[in-house]
Chain A
């Protein structure tokens, strides 16, 4: 057995162990990020979910930046997130909601109980818009620019620290 060849298995194993070791300690990036960041928001036209609030249409939204928030009444972290969205609305940031796999009554009830930060809420009952956006869970928030391009994806609920960052992102997108 040639000298070099005898050391090859050990070398291969050390490489394997290095990869495994790296994997153990990498930040828990178990979320699936959307590939649509930097691209145009996919066109959609969703019906209204809540009486008194309009539905969502990308054609109508073009021309100003806004936050696109994917949520649902059955989503637990969305409850914690709702007051932050109210704050954003108070700061003048337009927040559009997409309610996935939900019913009008449940959404209305959710908004009544937890606070309503949305300028408009569209119903995405078959998750089509969620899939088209490359979103893989709720809640998620996208920053969409005035030209209709997706600038940022925020996975998970909006926390206090995120409010400023998101508001700034929308301001800068003008």
Chain B
């Protein structure tokens, strides 16, 4: 019954989405305010119903209702409850439903809480949101129905892929989707503004909090995904430039550029075309990502297994929405008056450089990800992976870090290069000292990129806190704190990445019980192998003792885990986190002579990568809170 209820809610929501879009279109075309006024209530109801449908699916998973096809294909009654629930979005149909639910909820939020836009633009925005929803509802209802029944119902499900049976699944997809789909609001804002021709400071101020919110969630989602892959996949890497990973990075790059661009529009009424274009590009990248992950045109460990028919549906949606928005842009941008122009040495210039470099990285990642597909069209089979992306995007990213360091220290409107250099004395000193120190300790032993990265990180760290110096910290606005914390987060993450690349030590050993192996400053001994039983798995577990110098010995227990539903073997790594790094251990195969293969890594400061990611998101949240507080005070004063 729950499934039917969910399906009914979904159909109703779809109908409301049509109403939402139609009311806006008609109301605007015929200048009928009463018709346009239907848009907002429709949006609220649509969002609520979509969330109800999602709740119905989650309930079906919670009850292990095997008569629902997706439950039977992806769940098992023996699974722990957390994974039953999270399994609701661990499959294609469920995750599409999550997408649509968040899309609806975002529309509801805009309809309920957006006060700054003029009524016409608001109607156009909410209408656009509804229009996007219609396409995805159609996709769900006609080709990926999550509530399909299986008759007769099987007694037991096929189980969830063991790699997904992890707390990461509970956190990563919802956060990531909230980010992706949150960017749809920016897209709708842009479309709305293009329709009514109102691309101005009010538009920017209205759009900014939505972009910021989506961006914070997207940052957290990507950080969580990276950490999850790091400890789950068992090879100690945190980013592989895998097509699905790139699919999540591209919207983030666009959203970061958009975030900064919208500030320029809000403060200085410039960069109108860039801002609108970035708003369109950001959500387009989200949709492109969904297409890439589900169409099967790119091979990836993370991809959903879907057939090309569904892929073509999403491609059609892409053509409709992205093509439509870009065509609208080309047609209407001429009516938008050109914004103010900037002095070459100014904060605006820094923000333009920021936009530019982020867009270049976005372009490089996009081209690199799709190049194998394009080449195949000409009969050339090739692979593009980390060696390309690191070398192509790395230097541009370093340039961006330099801009990040200088930007906040530049004055608005016009600044003097000499004065800026003066302000940069401390960061430059920090970077040079770090570089000198690295060189002193390692000579030419370090690769160029990590060397530059670490030095740049030091410079950026100092530069990011400079705006806070010389002021009463309690009186510094939250927005400034937000900027400082976010930029500091970038420096921290960069430092972590560079340390991981430069200082990781790996040891592969066929270990005998009692014989120590060295990895970095650690000595790791295999004490023994024992069997273990879990909820729905059995495992072979190694007990390792690790000790560093005169410190207390640690115990680590990596496993080789065997699942029966479906039949899979996974490697569960055992990680010990210290203040200055992580000891990462993986158990391999026995060699038939009483020895077990162990893969050991000592990764100094690797946790800084994700700590940095969290800081970046935190900075964004602080900014968001700062603005909300300021608005509330302004409204109270008025």
Residue positions of A touching B, CB distance < 8 A: 1, 3, 6-7, 9-10, 13-14, 16-17, 19-26, 29-30, 32-33
Contact = CB atoms under 8 A, between A and B. Distances in A.
Given A6-B333, A9-B330, A20-B370, 12 more contacts: A1-B334, A6-B273, A6-B330, A9-B277, A9-B326, A14-B323, A19-B370, A21-B312, A23-B377, A24-B297, A24-B312, A29-B376
Contacts of A14: 323
Interface in B294-327: 295-297, 299, 308, 311-312, 315, 318-319, 322-323, 326-327
Counting chain B CB atoms within 10 Å of each CB, which of A7, A13, A33 scores highest? A13
A101 to B, nearest CB: 14
A50 B80 CA distance: 50
Contacts of B628: none
Nearest to B272: A1
Counting chain B CB atoms within 10 Å of each CB, which of A1, A23, A33 scores highest? A23
B602 interface: no
A32 B376 CA distance: 12
Contact of A20 (B284, B295, B299, B334): B295
A10 B330 CA distance: 8
Contacts of A26: 376-377
B537 interface: no
B344 to A, nearest CB: 20
A26 B372 CA distance: 14
B332 to A, nearest CB: 9
Given A6-B334, A24-B295, A25-B308, A19 B326 contact: no
Given A1-B273, A13-B322, A24-B311, A19 B373 contact: yes
Nearest to B372: A23
B376 A23 contact: yes
A26 B308 CA distance: 10
Given A6-B329, A6-B330, A32-B381, A13 B373 contact: no
B356 interface: no
A49 B569 CA distance: 31
A24 B308 contact: yes
A10 B327 contact: yes
B25 to A, nearest CB: 21
Contacts of A7: 330
Given A1-B334, A6-B334, A24-B311, A19 B377 contact: yes
Contacts of A32: 381
Contact residue range for chain B?
Answer: 20 to 34
A32 B299 CA distance: 13
A17 B312 CA distance: 10
Nearest to B296: A24
A14 B376 CA distance: 18
A91 B295 CA distance: 44
A76 to B, nearest CB: 15
Contacts of A9: 277, 281, 326, 329-330
Contacts of B297: 20, 23-24
30 contacts: A1-B273, A1-B334, A3-B334, A6-B273, A6-B329, A6-B334, A9-B326, A9-B329, A10-B326, A10-B329, A10-B330, A13-B322, A16-B370, A17-B318, A17-B323, A19-B377, A20-B291, A20-B295, A20-B315, A21-B312, A21-B315, A23-B295, A23-B376, A24-B295, A24-B296, A24-B297, A24-B312, A25-B312, A26-B377, A29-B376
B374 interface: yes
B338 interface: yes
Nearest to A8: B330
A7 to B, nearest CB: 5
Contact of B315 (A1, A24, A29, A30): A24
A24 B376 CA distance: 12
A21 B308 CA distance: 10
Contacts of B327: 10
A29 B319 CA distance: 26
Contact of B333 (A1, A16, A23): A1
A25 B309 CA distance: 9
Contacts of B370: 16, 19-20
B374 A19 contact: yes
Contacts of A6: 273, 329-330, 333-334
A22 B139 CA distance: 21
A153 to B, nearest CB: 14
A42 to B, nearest CB: 21
Contacts of A33: 381
B323 A13 contact: yes
Interface string B253-289: 0000000000000000000010001000100100000
Contacts of B329: 6, 9-10
Contacts of B311: 24
Contacts of A21: 312, 315
Which 6 A-B residue pairs are closest in the complex by CB-CB distance?
A: A10-B326, A23-B297, A6-B330, A7-B330, A23-B373, A24-B308
B323 A10 contact: yes
Contacts of A10: 323, 326-327, 329-330
A23 B377 CA distance: 7
Counting chain B CB atoms within 10 Å of each CB, which of A9, A22, A29 scores highest? A9
Interface in B326-363: 326-327, 329-330, 333-334, 338
A157 B533 CA distance: 40
B402 to A, nearest CB: 28
Contacts of B295: 20, 23-24
